[in-house]
Amino acid sequence: MPKILVIEDTENNRIIIGRRLKAKGHDVHLREDAEAGISAARELQPAVILMDIGLPGMDGWAAASALKADAVTAHIPIIALTAHAMAGDRDKALEAGCNDYETKPIDFVALFAKIDALTGGGTAPAPPAPAG
């Protein structure tokens, strides 16, 4: 199963998301802020990132933009996890570089389908070939 990086500042949410993903057999890595998440994405090269948008400090919008601007992490799909369910929030997530969007409370059946769609049902996306 794919390696998944979860960037979520609320401990209870990290625990619940982590447990549900592990129960499905995913290799789960948890981080609680954007800076640690960006560093982990560079190091771990996960198949997908699940990122809370309402992070303290650097928010999820800025973190998604930073990840997509970095050649080392630009290929990694990001699913925004957010309580923001207002009109236009999905578009804002996509404009920031997120590949998909899931509102809280999380519909895990829908989330697992989105993860499968972005990872080819369990295969990690290939990193870009080295230049040259």
Q: What is the DSSP string of 29-57?
A: EEESSHHHHHHHHHHH--SEEEEESS-SS
pLDDT of amino acid 122: 52
The parts of the chain modelled with pLDDT lower than 50 are: 123-126
pLDDT of amino acid 45: 98
In a 3-state reduction of DSSP, which class is residue 113?
helix
Distance of CA 31 to the CA centre of its chain: 11
pLDDT of amino acid 1: 78
In a 3-state reduction of DSSP, which class is residue 20?
helix
CATH class, range 3-119: alpha beta
For 54, 56, 104, the CA distances from 82, given in Å and listed in that order, are: 7, 13, 6
pLDDT of amino acid 65: 95
pLDDT of amino acid 4: 98
In a 3-state reduction of DSSP, which class is residue 60?
helix
Q: CA quadruple 10, 83, 97, 63: dihedral positive or negative?
A: negative
